[in-house]
Amino acid sequence: MPDHVCMDADPDDDVELLGGVEKREIVIVDHDPDWAQKFATERNRIVHALGARARRVDHIGSTAVPDLPAKPIIDINLSVDDVDDEAAYLPQLLTAGYQLRVRQRGHRMVRTPTKDVHVHVCTLGSDWEQRDLVFRDWLRTHPADRDRYATLKRQLAQQDWPDMNAYAHAKGPFITEITRQAKNQAAQR
């Protein structure tokens, strides 16, 4: 799911946050067309580090949706053969300058030291991968839902959250609703 450190994680799942809980200000800004270029730069960095082990590298999250306000953090979905086989990709990502932040079942997240790029690593073809892509694509093609999401994000950003995960979790019901709707529509085709 977009805009997440562990957004669609069940709160009861074992989620390891390396470095512990971080309180960060949630700032939502208008869409910046330069986000696409920033993604392209990071995509090249990832592919250079992993080669063919980077099975898919997709721009996800709100920064990947034109006209959608977002936190100025580029979310990237990196699909690998097996997310649990960290030895196949993690050392290379760390050498490329990313830092491991999240370890959870079916998902890892590395980020830049400046915390402005989050790379969500998952298994190719997994539910995690598909949810992120389905949600992004729906918002790209359904302006009314994109605008509803923008309103929700701006409202939630006004609250005091203990960390970004709590903010992301609060968006969960909306994301679940849209993802379910998109999957149902796709199944009817």
Q: Please give the structure tokens belonging to residue 164.
A: 């970004």
pLDDT in tens, 115-171: 999 999 999 999 999 999 999 999 999 999 999 999 999 999 999 988 888 898 999
Domain edges within the chain? 15-187
> DSSP for 112-156?
-TTS-EEEEEEETT-HHHHHHHHHHHHHHH-HHHHHHHHHHHHHH
CB 64 within 8 A of CB 2: yes
CATH topology of domain 15-187: Beta Polymerase; domain 2 (3.30.460)
pLDDT in tens, 82-115: 999 999 999 999 999 999 999 999 999 999 999 9
Task: Return the pLDDT at 22.
Answer: 73
CB 58 within 8 A of CB 76: yes
**Overall pTM surpassing 0.85 (yes/no):** yes
Query: Which residues have C-beta within 8 Å of that of residue 97, sequence separation ≥ 6?
Result: 45, 112, 113
